[in-house]
Chains A and B, each alone.
Chain A
Amino acid sequence: MRREVPIIVTLIAGLLFLLDYFIKIPLISGIVGEFETWAIVISAFALGLGAANLFRIHLQKAIKKSEGWYNSVLLLVSMVVMAISGIGWTQTNSIYSYMFDNIFVPINGTMFALLAFYLASASYRAFRVRTPEATVLLVSAVIVMVGNAPVGRLIWEGFPGYSSWIMSVFNSAGMRGIIIGASLGAIVTSLRIIFGIDRSYFGGQ
């Protein structure tokens, strides 16, 4: 029961959606349409799952006053304020907007901007011409970097042309090979999941 029910649910949902793609039967299309809305609702509940977990862990930390408890309190307060302001008065209300513009945007943006520094450091320390393969990688990276920046044309007229040539021939060819291969992998994995052969998503059972 514990194993069979989830597997049967997966099988029915998966097969119905596959069937609807290949053969258009009004009854099945109707069910699939309904299931799509159900899936959105369940995914919405899943969004709260992470927040619930976060809430549980940090509430415990705050109550037990374990190390860094004040950070947990701040996390809980900002979560609650953001959620309530949105739920109560939509994303257009002033508190939500204020926190979105002045906390969420700058911090999230800066976290990813940090990677520019690490990339620069890695370029200096690790991007070496150790092997012929690494040399090819390095040369194509440099041509694309120069070609993509407006200054490339000033240095040499040919840079943007060679950059777009590399992009449209070698990059497209390599990426297309990877996409076709990955697509085959995705089809096989999805079929294994639908037919209950792969159950790793249930937590390793």
Chain B
Amino acid sequence: MKWLKKLQTIDSKIIYLVLFFAIALPLIFPIGIPVEINAGTRTFYDTIDNLPKGSVILISYDWDAASAPELLPQATAITKHALTNGHKIVALGLWYAGPTFADRVHNAVAAEVEGKEYGVDFVNLGYRPGGAVVLNSMARDFHQTFPEDVNRTRLSEIPLMKEVKDINDIDLIIDLSAGDPGYRAYIEQIGSQYNVPILVGCTAVSVSGITPYLQSGNVGALLGGLRAAAEYELLIDTPGLGLGGMDAQSVAHLTIIAFIIVGNIAYIATKKKK
């Protein structure tokens, strides 16, 4: 069975090309596979929904461009949901690209939700290096840790930050995390010392590591990857990048599974022959 042997040593570039088309074709010709909403996403949504109007939510942008395709749609959907419900948002980043993405999200959402004003409804505090130490410092005193926002306005002059002095003034923390520092820093440094609920939105790759914290109650709810972003977009009835990519996600997964199966059939067949 020469062809089975050949199948085992197929050129990588063919595999690359097949994967590329497995993603490109469903984007060009959408199939419309229905997306079911998971219980975890529903809990996340309900937590924000059940907060009293005017609650202050801290959203931490702990990711960079490498995770933007997964976390930007999550951030956009969550921010839109929170602002529509009349909550206030304090954004910051433990990764240095974070605050710029926060700006992008705020600009996009503020254009959609009427009457939302920077400094009153949302604020962007920027980035500080140090991870765990930043969280401890911030929990003690926001104004000492972040004396100014990203526009170099003193926090004491920003209406929203006049009400927010320390972590006790925050009603909910949402950490959008792509690694370290990220969800673990929030769970370990803030969650174990202060009584503020923590929700996590993360890349799919981090989901495996977070589930123990979800089961132990350290994390209230979890959004994992692009799929969860798509579900959230459905819940707030605003289709975006998440839902747009779901068909491609399905086809790409099936393609990779097909690779595994074909590779193994060839392997087993040639092994038996030996």
Task: Report which A residues bind B (CB closer than 8 A).
Answer: 33, 36-37, 39-40, 43-44, 46-47, 90-92, 97, 100, 104-109, 111-113, 116-117, 119-121, 123-125, 127-129, 138, 142, 145-146, 148-154, 160, 164, 167-168, 171-172, 175-176, 179
Which residues of B238-266 have CB atoms within 8 Å of chain A's CB atoms? Answer: 246-247, 249-257, 259-260, 262-264
With known contacts A37-B145, A172-B215, A121–B15 Cβ distance under 8 A: yes
Q: Is the CB of A39 within 8 A of B209?
A: no
Q: Are A124 and B140 closer than 8 Å at their CB atoms?
A: no
Contacts of B215 in A (CB 8 A): 168, 172, 176
With contacts A36-B136, A149-B250, A171-B211 known, what are 12 further pairs, Cβ within 8 A?
Answer: A36-B140, A40-B129, A90-B152, A92-B103, A92-B151, A105-B68, A121-B16, A125-B12, A125-B263, A150-B34, A153-B34, A160-B38
| Residue among B150, B211, B246, B268 making CB contact with A168, cutoff 8 Å | B211
How many whole Å from A177's CB to the nearest CB in chain B?
A: 9
Given the complex, which residues of A lie within 8 Å of B204, measured CB to CB? 148
- A160-B33 Cα distance, complex, nearest whole Å: 15
A-B contact pairs, 19 of them (CB 8 A): A33-B137, A40-B133, A40-B137, A44-B128, A109-B65, A112-B66, A123-B256, A123-B260, A124-B15, A138-B260, A149-B249, A149-B254, A150-B35, A154-B34, A175-B208, A175-B211, A175-B212, A176-B212, A179-B212
Using A39-B130, A40-B128 as known contacts, say yes or no to A150 and B208 having CB atoms under 8 A apart. Answer: no
Of all A-B residue pairs in the complex, the 9 with the closest CB atoms, nearest first, are A151-B250, A108-B65, A36-B137, A176-B212, A124-B259, A43-B129, A112-B66, A43-B130, A149-B250
B144 within 8 A of A: yes
Closest to B126 in A: A91
Inter-chain CA distance A142–B256, complex, in Å, is 9
Q: Is B237 an interface residue (CB 8 A)?
A: no
* Chain B hits for A44, CB < 8 A: 128-129
Pick from A117, A149, A176: contact of B16, CB under 8 Å: A117
Cα(A156)–Cα(B215), bound, Å: 27
B96 CB, nearest partner CB in chain A, Å:
8
B259 pairs with A123, CB closer than 8 A: yes
Which listed residue, B34, B67, B100, B134, touches A100 by the CB 8 Å rule? B100
Residues B22-74 near A (CB distance < 8 A): 33-36, 38, 64-69
Task: Report A102 CB to chain B, min CB distance, Å.
Answer: 11
Report Cα–Cα, A151/B248, bound state, in Å: 10
- How far is it, in angstroms, between the C-alpha of A199 and the C-alpha of B263 when the chains are bound? 48
Q: Which residues of A contact B87 (CB under 8 A)?
A: none
Say which residue of B36, B257, B262 sits within 8 Å of A150 (CB atoms): B36
* Contact between A149 and B227, CB atoms less than 8 A apart: yes
A169 CB to nearest chain B CB (Å):
10
Which of B136, B252, B263 sits near A124, CB closer than 8 Å?
A: B263
Bound together, the chains give a CA A121 to CA B13 distance in angstroms of: 9
| B196 on interface, CB distance cutoff 8 Å | no
A113 CA to B142 CA in the complex, in Å?
A: 36
B110 in contact (CB, < 8 A): no
Q: Give the Cβ gap from A27 to chain B, nearest Cβ, in Å.
A: 15
Name the contact of A105 in the complex, choosing from B65, B136, B212 (C-beta under 8 A): B65
Q: Report A130 CB to chain B, min CB distance, Å.
A: 8
Q: How far is the CA of A36 from the CA of B189 in the complex (A)?
A: 13
Q: Chain B's nearest CB lies how many Å from the CB of A41?
A: 9
B235 CB within 8 Å of chain A: no
Does B10 interact with chain A (Cβ within 8 Å)? yes
Q: Closest residue of chain B to A114, judged by CB?
A: B16
Is B257 a contact partner of A142 (Cβ separation < 8 A)? Answer: yes
Cβ-defined partner of B144 (8 Å) among A37, A100, A142: A37
Query: Which residue of chain B has the shortest Cβ distance to A108 in the bound complex?
Result: B65
Enumerate chain B residues within 8 angstroms of A127, measured Cβ to Cβ: 260, 263-264
Interface centre among A105, A128, A138, A142 (most CB of B within 10 A): A105
